[in-house]
Amino acid sequence: MDRREFLKTAAVATAASAINLKASAAAAADAAAKAVSPADPPVVVAVRNGDPVSMFRKGIEALGGMKAFVKPGQRVVVKPNIAWDRIPEEGANTTPELVAEIVRQAIAVGAKEVIVFDHTCNNWERTYKTSGIEAAAKDAGARIASAASKEDYEERSNDSAVKMKKALIHKELLAADVVINVPILKNHGGAKMTAAMKNWMGVVWDRGFMHGNNLPQCIADSILYRKPDLNVIDAYRVMRTNGPRGVSLADVTELKYMVLSRDIVAADTMAAQLIQYPIDSVPYIAMGEKHGLGISDITKMKIERLDA
């Protein structure tokens, strides 16, 4: 090889080495960027061994804090279970302190207004008072709304619904920028389990239609009208028998648990595990998944488990 060929070969080799070094450096930078980028948030956060307020604080922090859900100037609806004229210890309604904490946090990040309501089964004024939720929510800065009159609702239709293609839906829910669903976990004689999806019966006027036209399917259908932005399942006290109203304190167990998720189907899947019901014994879970409302395969969920 003469000197000219040698220099040409050396130049090609040097260029190739430079390209390889650049490619290696780029690959290393890409890997480093991926390593330090924030992980995907959990699908479900499960918190245990605390009081409802401390468990919520721990759980919402894992989902990015209340600021990940509520922006300044937004109208927020908090929808607890306030169906029954029962005191908190009887486990028929959402824990009032939890509702108050959610209201406080929404206001703290700039919510323009927070509204709390439920379509109760017992007299609404008496139920709001006995449950402790009215006083707790008002003290935290919320406005309490009635759901006892047909005038509180507006008609909507949804062709994706299987049974409930038309429904009267609460006006406050329809007007909200953000909706936070805060059910209590308990046994239910008709629907098997009350949790996130079942709690949506409290935004619909005609529950008689729901009971008479395949209740599980109507529960799944109801969520199509306005899907919650966040689900917080209160499993501090769990009514294991004689739900949804309960008979005595013997029906209630202190489980000291909470489930938080954007995914209403995933939330109820976890709730069914907590109350020890097979998923297929709560048919509205599969119906909700068929509607595209979430996932029920626990192996596909990123679950973050925390102690309060």
- pLDDT tens for the chain, 308 residues long, are 554 454 444 444 444 444 443 444 444 434 433 333 346 879 999 999 999 999 999 999 999 999 999 999 999 999 999 999 999 999 999 999 999 999 999 999 999 999 999 999 999 999 999 999 999 999 999 999 999 999 999 999 999 999 999 999 999 999 999 999 999 999 999 999 999 999 999 999 999 999 999 999 999 999 999 999 999 999 999 999 999 999 999 999 999 999 999 999 999 999 999 999 999 999 999 999 999 999 999 999 999 999 99
Across the strands, what pairs with 235? 257
Q: How many CA atoms lie within 13 A of 128 on its CB side?
A: 18
Are the beta carbons of 131 and 93 closer than 8 angstroms? yes
Q: Please give the structure tokens belonging to residue 51.
A: 């009081």
Q: What is the pLDDT of residue 41?
A: 78
How many residues would you count in the chain?
308
Q: pTM, whole model, 2 decimals?
A: 0.87
Q: What is the pLDDT of residue 302?
A: 96
Across the strands, what pairs with 187? 193
What 8-state DSSP symbol labels residue 204?
B
